[in-house]
Amino acid sequence: MPATETAKREGASTMQTILVAIPRSETEGSGEDVVAYLREAFPDATVVSAHDLDSALAAPSPDVLFTSSHAWLPDYVRERPDLPWIHLLSAGADRLLGMDLPFERLRVSTSSGVHTATIAEYVMAGVLFHVKQFGRFVEQQRERRWDRTWVDEIEGKTMAVIGLGAIGVGIAVRAKAFGMRVIGTKRSLERVEGVDEVFAPEHLQAVLRQADAVAVTVPLTPTTRGLIGAAEFAVMQPSAVFVNIARGAVVDEVAMIDALRERRIAGAVLDVFEREPLPEDSLLWGFDNVLITPHVSGSTPVYMRKAVDVFVKNVRSLEATGELVTGVDPERGY
């Protein structure tokens, strides 16, 4: 049952005013869907929509600002020193944490988990794209050329998930369903669903050595910036497929280009880059062993409702326990 239905069933919330402040350019008009879903979930609350700084400041001071990490957010927060809570439409908080905001007094939560299914599907599709040589067959189809060849399988191979958060676990479960062995990294070494062996982050290279496919899912923090560099690509298997759906800056792009050009890894599936849009002169465009997508791995027609469902869970948890389900620790960076 969606969390919006759960919210109605569990009764009234203490939430009185919710301000949805998302520029229209960021939501392609779906910001109004967020308002409708929130009104459904919290029928006794006042839900107000704003699309720029002036309309946000003209709205009543909210109990929570449901927003994105847009440029005028710090200006709004300075004008609203009583704002207690920001909930992000996004699953990541790196852009927000880079802003000049009073985190010592602000609660911050994200829509972490909203991408789990769609990104996990993307990762498996990307690995299969390479292993089944679909790129080659698309070219042959365009050329009307019948050229049979052996293709590989992923059953029995090893998937390494670098960062076993919500998305990482979603990938692990799906990889396990394909018959893969799954290993990964996580700061805490407790048992993880779908994962055969969990390693501490400091054992990253040992994990990469074993992998036929590598999925990078860590948040971007000072610790993870440049996490995958020349040394890490050097220990990967020549048959490895590398997938990055985290942030471009988690990977040393020059080192990755060198590894791909020299065929030291089999290929890559890249949805995020150091610079976005990816510049036209990037060497990555010309590699036949790279699949490039324009930061779409997390997109889904039901994104907004899922984001509201995550928010509802945070409201219920905050009211019941004083804790946020997807709260952000500014010192950790996520």
Choosing from 51, 107, 295, 316, the catalytic residue is 295
Helix (H) or strand (E) holding 4: helix 3-10
Annotated catalytic, 316? Answer: no
Residue with tokens 């510049």: 279
Catalytic residue status for 276? yes
Q: Is residue 87 within 8 Å of 107, Cβ to Cβ?
A: no
Sign of CA dihedral 118, 124, 130, 135: negative
Q: What gap in Å lies between CA 244 and CA 218, rounded to an integer? A: 10
Q: Looking at 115, 247, 253, 305, which residue is catalytic?
A: 247
Q: Which of 197, 276, 319, 323 is flagged as catalytic?
A: 276
Rounded-to-integer distance, Cα 327 and Cα 334, Å: 8
Q: Please give the Cα distance from 103 to 105 (Å, whole number).
A: 5
DSSP string across 153-195: --TT-EEEEES-SHHHHHHHHHHHHTT-EEEEE-SS----TT-
Q: Catalytic residue at 32?
A: no
Nearest to 287, CA basis, from 306, 305, 269:
269
- What would the DSSP string read from start to end of 219-243? ---TTTTT-B-HHHHHHS-TT-EEE
Distance CA 38, CA 17 (A): 11
Retrieve residue 320's tokens: 């019941």
| Catalytic sites, residue numbers | 247, 276, 295
